[in-house]
A and B are shown apart, each in its own frame.
Chain A
Amino acid sequence: MEKNDVILELINVNKSFDGSIVVENLNLSVQKGEFVTFLGPSGCGKTTTLRMIAGLEMPDSGQILLNGMDIAQLPPHKRPLNTVFQRYALFPHLDVYDNIAFGLKLKKVSYQTTNKQGNVITKTRKYTKDEIDAKVKKALKIVDLESFECRNVTTLSGGQQQRVAIARAIVNEPEILLLDEPLGALDLKMRKEMQLELKEMHKKLGITFIYVTHDQEEALTMSDRIVVIEDGVIQQIGTPLDIYNEPANAFVADFIGESNIYVGTMIGPQKVRFLGTTWDCVDDFEINEKVDVVVRPEDIIIHSPNEGKVKAKIVNKIFKGIHYQFTAMVGNNEVLIQSTVDHPVGQDISLTIEPDLIQIMKREYTANIYEDAYINKNNEVVFAGASWACDVTQLVEGATLDEKGYFITPNGKKYDLDDIDVIATIDMKDIEISDNLEEGNITGQIIQMVWKGDHYQLIIRTEDEEDFIVDTEWTWNESDTVSISIDSSKIKLKLKADLSKYEI
């Protein structure tokens, strides 16, 4: 990758709205002529990133380099970029022709002329009527709307409006074309058509495209490179093939395509245990480390019983056109399998998976750890914006509490634990959540949910932006508000400060 091929570079870009972080420390560089897609669920910060590139939002900090020049604080009308908006944003008071010519009429071009002294100087002028006319006609031809010049934009169908919006952007010959979920409002068939046309346009025009979508299939179809964003942070950057075959973490695997995600344990070199069996794999992690295992449904092969590595029973079947999708149970774990061969529901089968198709990833979260917790005067532990009943005697082995709540160690010393710093650790399966908001100590919203074979892993975010990672067997919905409670005996505490300062 040569440096001078980089057209756009984002360096440590941060943005927050009303105190909540939307984009966090984002770093990205885009090659000239590339088709880059920002992919992620709604609210992940992908649109905000695009809007910062367009100049419609200003980053709180960080640089946005266009051809090496920082444009982060430049207003949008001074940037040589154009945007295709999600809801088209056509001007209702102008017809198709004037909508497309809007940018051209404002644009100034530089030209060279010789002044009276005979020196060559550079002047700027506006486009002439004929030049504008030629450019608009050409743009209309590119988007296949040649006879629509005089039509009122409000009388056009969604697909036609979208074409006008694209023509209005590309007619200005931007250095980068930004597309903000441009096909989101179209029906499926139209969307597929436009995907191919956009791809074709990208090839023909040679302009760099930055495309935002939440549709993983769209991203896989169109992009040279995909940037998967979740929660304002880039999860993975790679070609569609890389992202699909080697997802960087459970979130990416779950978001892109269908996948089976399990919690596994490494039990030897290139050996992993999940689904109750030991499997050969091609990745190496530390022995006994807990890992996330991802297997794509189409990579699981169905055999007759006893032929495969692990026994299973088919419990559900859906016909999907070119293949069947089976749900099979291996013990308590659900396995999603895709196969072109039909099997009846209820049949006993066995399964094999090729070692190189078992994708092993480091677990992002192993437990909830709160480093900045402290004990209050009621001997409760405070973290994540709430106080929790806990057993403080575990801080020193054999310690007790006297009737006034002072902490007595086995050697008879007395301490007041008020305000002492501790580290609190709670296992993911020890957090109880409830839809009765009165029940728990604090409420939060489910922001992410990943199915891991026999349980869901949820991330619950409180109003103060504190996260709880919860393993649960029950089905919840993303963006549900739930209350959180923790059994006092399940909170593990560790002293962070020197206890002797708190002696009384």
Chain B
Amino acid sequence: MKFKRKYLSFPYVLFLICFIIIPVFFIIYYAFTNKGGAFTFDNLLKFFSDSTNVNVLLISFVYAILNTVICLLIGYPLAMILANKNYNRSSVMVMLFVMPMWINFIIRTSATRDVLNWIGISTGANSGLTTMIGLVYNYLPFVILPLYSTMLKMDKSQIEASADLGANRFVTFFKVIIPMTMPGIVSAATMVFMPTLSSYVISDILSEYNVVLFGSYIDLYFNQADWNFGSLMALIMLLLIGISVFISRKFSKDETGGRTSLW
């Protein structure tokens, strides 16, 4: 039998079916059945009839949006400095910002809690603030990396052209540099926004369970063996993430007309 190239793809196709396609069907199945296994819309009605559920979702959105905005505000200038050869002659600086990602997530987050308590920001009393700090700290590298690589690729001559055409630094930044790094910004935003929605360890540890994000809420129901309602919420989140990816794709067209965003 002749070996064909497409045989190489079989392991991956198998993997995709087992760990992505089938689980999604499981989620859909559980979301629209009750404990006895009969088809029902009860879970959906229950979700929208209780304002607590919707509130948790809205709070998660607020945290995710805030986290994205703060990460971008800190990460963008930082990535600009890192990508500038004058300030960063070796990649040591980049390494320093990426290195926290190498440390075990749980240990890192617990350590953050202890440090915050030690310097006087109590995780119990200021749970909102500490959760935010933890989220920003954890997701900052995910913002810096895509922005950094977009800025490294950026052609300096367009910035020069902008100055040559009469734009000062301020105008050049907003009319040339920001639009040209848009694919990086979209990548960065997606990489922060979506995981924040579903994160729960950070908020659990850093707020002493005072801040409940959508991820922790789903986790709660699965722990209480209510797989059906948990699945429905997972499905809702899947749809929301799908919508946000769809929107972000509109912004991430690069100069060749293709997509450079990672998602």
Chain A interface residues toward B at CB < 8 A: 54-56, 75-77, 81-83, 85-87, 89-94, 102-103, 106-107, 152, 154-155, 168-169, 172
Given A76-B160, A85-B160, A106-B171: A92 in contact with B165 (beta carbons within 8 A): no
Distance between A154 CB and nearest chain B CB, rounded to angstroms: 5
B179 within 8 A of A: yes
Distance between B48 CB and nearest chain A CB, rounded to angstroms: 41
Would you call the interface of chain B mostly helix, strand, loop, or mixed? helix
Complex A-B: 22 CB contacts under 8 Å: A56-B160, A75-B168, A76-B160, A82-B164, A83-B160, A85-B157, A85-B160, A86-B157, A87-B155, A90-B158, A90-B161, A92-B158, A92-B255, A93-B179, A102-B162, A102-B175, A103-B165, A106-B167, A154-B257, A168-B165, A169-B165, A172-B166
Distance between B215 CB and nearest chain A CB, rounded to angstroms: 35
B152 within 8 A of A: no
Q: Which residues of A contact B164 (CB under 8 A)?
A: 54-56, 76-77, 81-83
Give the complex CA separation of A77 and B180 in angstroms.
Answer: 20
Given A92-B254, A154-B257, A172-B166: A83 in contact with B182 (beta carbons within 8 A): no
Q: Which residues of B contact A90 (CB under 8 A)?
A: 158, 161
Q: Are A106 and B165 in contact (CB under 8 A)?
A: yes
Q: Which residues of B contact A56 (CB under 8 A)?
A: 160, 163-164
Q: Which residues of B contact A86 (CB under 8 A)?
A: 157
Closest A residue by C-beta to B161: A89
Distance between B13 CB and nearest chain A CB, rounded to angstroms: 35
B residues 142-159 touching A (CB-CB < 8 Å): 155, 157-158
Q: Among B167, B175, B256, B257, point to the contact of A77 (Cβ < 8 A).
A: B167
Closest B residue by C-beta to A75: B163
Give the complex CA separation of A168 and B256 in angstroms.
Answer: 21
Interface size range on B against A: 20 to 34
Q: A103-B166, A152-B257 are in contact. List 19 more A-B contacts (CB 8 A).
A: A54-B164, A55-B163, A55-B164, A56-B163, A75-B163, A77-B164, A77-B166, A85-B157, A85-B160, A85-B161, A91-B161, A91-B162, A91-B180, A93-B180, A93-B182, A106-B167, A154-B256, A154-B257, A168-B161
Give the complex CA separation of A76 and B162 in angstroms.
Answer: 9
Give the complex CA separation of A85 and B175 in angstroms.
Answer: 19
Give the complex CA separation of A154 and B257 in angstroms.
Answer: 8
Q: Which residues of B contact A85 (CB under 8 A)?
A: 157, 160-161
Given A85-B160, A92-B254, A154-B256: A102 in contact with B179 (beta carbons within 8 A): no
Most buried by A among B160, B163, B165, B176: B165
Q: Which residues of B contact A92 (CB under 8 A)?
A: 158, 180, 254-255
Give the complex CA separation of A336 and B155 in angstroms.
Answer: 44
Q: Among A55, A81, A89, point to the contact of B157 (Cβ < 8 A).
A: A89
Give the complex CA separation of A90 and B164 in angstroms.
Answer: 12
B residues 167-220 touching A (CB-CB < 8 Å): 167-168, 171, 175-176, 179-180, 182
Give the complex CA separation of A351 and B157 in angstroms.
Answer: 53
Give the complex CA separation of A76 and B169 in angstroms.
Answer: 11
Q: Are B160 and A89 in contact (CB under 8 A)?
A: yes
Distance between B38 CB and nearest chain A CB, rounded to angstroms: 54
Distance between A84 CB and nearest chain B CB, rounded to angstroms: 9
Given A92-B254, A154-B255, A155-B257: A83 in contact with B161 (beta carbons within 8 A): yes
Give the complex CA separation of A188 and B157 in angstroms.
Answer: 24
Give the complex CA separation of A92 and B257 in angstroms.
Answer: 10
Q: Among B155, B157, B166, B255, point to the contact of A106 (Cβ < 8 A).
A: B166
Distance between B160 CB and nearest chain A CB, rounded to angstroms: 5
Closest A residue by C-beta to B181: A93
Q: Which residues of A contact B167 (CB under 8 A)?
A: 77, 102, 106
B residues 234-258 touching A (CB-CB < 8 Å): 254-257
The 5 lowest CB-CB distance pairs between A and B, nearest first, are: A92-B255, A103-B165, A89-B157, A89-B161, A93-B179
Q: Are B158 and A76 in contact (CB under 8 A)?
A: no
Given A154-B256, A154-B257, A155-B257: A91 in contact with B166 (beta carbons within 8 A): no
Give the complex CA separation of A106 and B155 in angstroms.
Answer: 22
Distance between B235 CB and nearest chain A CB, rounded to angstroms: 36
Give the complex CA separation of A86 and B164 in angstroms.
Answer: 14
Q: Which residues of A contact B155 (CB under 8 A)?
A: 87, 89
Give the complex CA separation of A168 and B175 in angstroms.
Answer: 16
Distance between A177 CB and nearest chain B CB, rounded to angstroms: 11
Give the complex CA separation of A169 and B166 in angstroms.
Answer: 11
Q: Are B157 and A87 in contact (CB under 8 A)?
A: yes
Q: Are A91 and B176 in contact (CB under 8 A)?
A: yes
Give the complex CA separation of A152 and B180 in angstroms.
Answer: 14
Distance between A131 CB and nearest chain B CB, rounded to angstroms: 16
Q: Which residues of B contact A89 (CB under 8 A)?
A: 155, 157-158, 160-161
Give the complex CA separation of A467 and B257 in angstroms.
Answer: 50
Q: Which residues of B contact A102 (CB under 8 A)?
A: 162, 165, 167, 175
Q: Which residues of B contact A168 (CB under 8 A)?
A: 161, 165
Distance between A53 CB and nearest chain B CB, rounded to angstroms: 11
Distance between B37 CB and nearest chain A CB, rounded to angstroms: 53
Distance between B89 CB and nearest chain A CB, rounded to angstroms: 13
Q: Which residues of B contact A83 (CB under 8 A)?
A: 160-161, 164
Closest B residue by C-beta to A100: B165
Give the complex CA separation of A77 and B172 in angstroms.
Answer: 10
Given A93-B179, A152-B257, A154-B256: A77 in contact with B163 (beta carbons within 8 A): yes
Closest A residue by C-beta to B178: A93
Q: Which residues of A contact B256 (CB under 8 A)?
A: 154
